[in-house]
């Protein structure tokens, strides 16, 4: 079966068989198919799409291209949560101990940030001593003992996806629903969790901008998970404004600690409680709404915070940050940004907010870039708020004073002001089970 024949078939809009997709991925991993072949294939999929059976076949081919983690030692309690990426999304730091405090076992592999979206591993790396790598035996042992283990995803899991994603990133084919769905689910299936909850972001700060496309992505991934024998659900959540007020690694850890302490931003609290409710309903059965109520109690009575401290300490981190966040690394400089006009914040280009944090040193433009843990943004107002000219809009943090001028310009360009109040949008649009 010639590689060019498979590409030609998809280019013309025909359905590929599972055998053709398996052969393509096998050829790519063996070196018989080159990067330029896969770049052409990705572009053909971008324009022609894929049927559900093709997307499922591509997912499983990439999942089986490397190591498949066996979490059977954890029984049916193993649960994973994946976000499709956003700005200010520090939910794993809260949801993992919250779910563990109620009997779930969060065995999770996370990534680093690239571009305007932040990465969970970068946030955890801001905690002194935290080990982002554990061998497989230690990973499973910690998850079993403490109910939580979160490490950086290694290249041994779905390596075909890692290679294909790198090509998509430089060939303008990232935002293809079949390619996104197969990329996410190949890694989730290879990582072994029995239960999976997806947080599919929609809006200006998300990879997928429209609600209809986000719904299609969520439905596609849920079906793939079901076909692979996993319990799975997806929440479609708003990313037309940053989640919480903090954007940047230390700043987001501080905000997560505040929520675990029973306070913190209401939107962040609510998203975390809803995600935890879905995860616990998959693990234990029952009504997700009732599990949400129990999750709120775990936040308010300090039990979730106890599990956070045990997790961080077990993985080598300084758990004292739960009581003293000044132990986290902070930026050398700060700069306040003030509202240029009086009015309601009608819109925030959340991708621009994320890009501002990158300019300050909180993110990467290239994988090789070094992050400043303390860099970022602390917002004082968000969409829907009314501000007066001269009111504090945000505070910027960076080790590099020279970054403030361009960062201020970028952040202010993200805000649109209006004279009249704006219509609220849902925090959670819908749940797909």
Q: Say which of 82, 108, 296, 383 is annotated catalytic.
A: 82
Q: Say which of 80, 89, 122, 161 is annotated catalytic.
A: 161
Q: Say which of 187, 330, 352, 355 is annotated catalytic.
A: 187
Counting as low any pLDDT under 50, the low residues of the chain are none
In this prediction, residue 367 carries a pLDDT of 66
Contact 399, 407 (CB under 8 A): no
How far is 117 from 363, CA to CA, in rounded Å?
8
Quick one: CA dihedral 186, 124, 119, 392, positive or negative? positive
In this prediction, residue 26 carries a pLDDT of 97
How crowded is the C-beta side of 256, counted as CA atoms within 13 Å? 31
In this prediction, residue 165 carries a pLDDT of 87
Contact 139, 107 (CB under 8 A): yes
> Residue 41: helix, strand or coil by DSSP?
helix
In this prediction, residue 341 carries a pLDDT of 94
194 as an active site residue: the answer is no
Q: Say which of 168, 188, 194, 292 is annotated catalytic.
A: 168
> What Rg value do the Cα atoms of the chain yield, rounded?
21
Query: Which letter, b or e, does each residue of 235-246 get, where b requires 16 or more Cβ atoms within 10 Å of its Cβ?
Result: bbbbbbbbbbbb
161 as an active site residue: the answer is yes
How far is 71 from 115, CA to CA, in rounded Å?
32
Q: Say which of 83, 110, 176, 183 is annotated catalytic.
A: 183
In this prediction, residue 115 carries a pLDDT of 67
82 as an active site residue: the answer is yes
How far is 393 from 338, CA to CA, in rounded Å?
5
In this prediction, residue 114 carries a pLDDT of 65
How far is 146 from 93, CA to CA, in rounded Å?
15
- The overall longest dimension of the chain from CA atoms, in Å, is 67
183 as an active site residue: the answer is yes
How far is 11 from 13, CA to CA, in rounded Å?
5
């Amino acid at each position: 079966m010639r590689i060019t024949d498979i590409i030609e078939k998809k280019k013309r809009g025909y359905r590929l068989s599972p055998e053709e997709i398996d052969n393509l991925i096998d050829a790519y991993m063996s070196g018989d198919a080159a990067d330029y072949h896969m770049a052409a294939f990705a572009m053909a999929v971008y324009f022609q799409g894929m049927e559900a059976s093709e997307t499922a076949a591509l997912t499983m081919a990439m999942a089986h291209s490397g190591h498949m983690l066996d979490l059977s030692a954890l029984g049916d309690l193993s649960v994973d949560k994946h976000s499709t990426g956003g700005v200010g999304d520090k939910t794993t730091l809260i949801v993992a101990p919250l779910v563990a405090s109620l009997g779930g076992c969060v065995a999770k592999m996370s990534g680093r940030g690239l571009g305007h979206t932040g990465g969970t591993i970068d946030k955890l790396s801001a905690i002194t001593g935290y080990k982002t790598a554990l061998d497989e035996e230690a990973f499973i042992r910690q998850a079993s003992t403490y109910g939580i283990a979160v490490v950086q995803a290694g290249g041994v899991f779905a390596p075909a996806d890692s290679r294909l994603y790198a090509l998509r990133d430089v060939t303008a084919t990232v935002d293809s629903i079949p390619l996104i769905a197969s990329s996410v689910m190949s890694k989730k299936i290879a990582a072994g969790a029995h239960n999976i909850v997806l947080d599919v972001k929609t809006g200006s700060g998300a990879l997928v901008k429209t609600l209809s496309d986000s719904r299609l992505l969520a439905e596609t991934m849920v079906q793939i998970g079901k076909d692979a024998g996993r319990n799975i659900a997806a929440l479609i959540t708003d990313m037309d404004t940053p989640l919480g007020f903090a954007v940047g690694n230390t700043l987001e850890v501080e905000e997560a600690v505040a929520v675990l302490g029973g306070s913190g931003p209401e939107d962040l609290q609510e998203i975390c409680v809803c995600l935890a409710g879905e995860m616990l309903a998959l693990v234990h059965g029952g009504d997700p709404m009732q599990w949400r109520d129990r999750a709120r109690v775990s936040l308010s009575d300090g039990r979730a915070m106890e599990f956070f401290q045990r997790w961080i300490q077990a993985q080598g981190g300084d758990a004292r940050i739960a009581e003293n966040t000044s132990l986290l690394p902070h930026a050398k400089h700060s700069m306040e940004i003030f509202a240029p006009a009086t009015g309601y914040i009608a819109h925030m280009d959340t991708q621009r907010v994320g890009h501002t944090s990158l300019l300050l040193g909180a993110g990467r433009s290239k994988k090789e870039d070094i992050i400043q843990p303390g860099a970022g943004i602390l917002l004082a107002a968000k969409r829907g708020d009314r501000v007066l000219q001269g009111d504090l809009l945000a505070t910027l943090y960076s080790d590099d004073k020279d970054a403030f001028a361009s960062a201020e310009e970028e952040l202010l360009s993200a805000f649109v002001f209006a004279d009249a109040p704006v219509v609220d949008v849902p925090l959670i649009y819908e749940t797909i089970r």
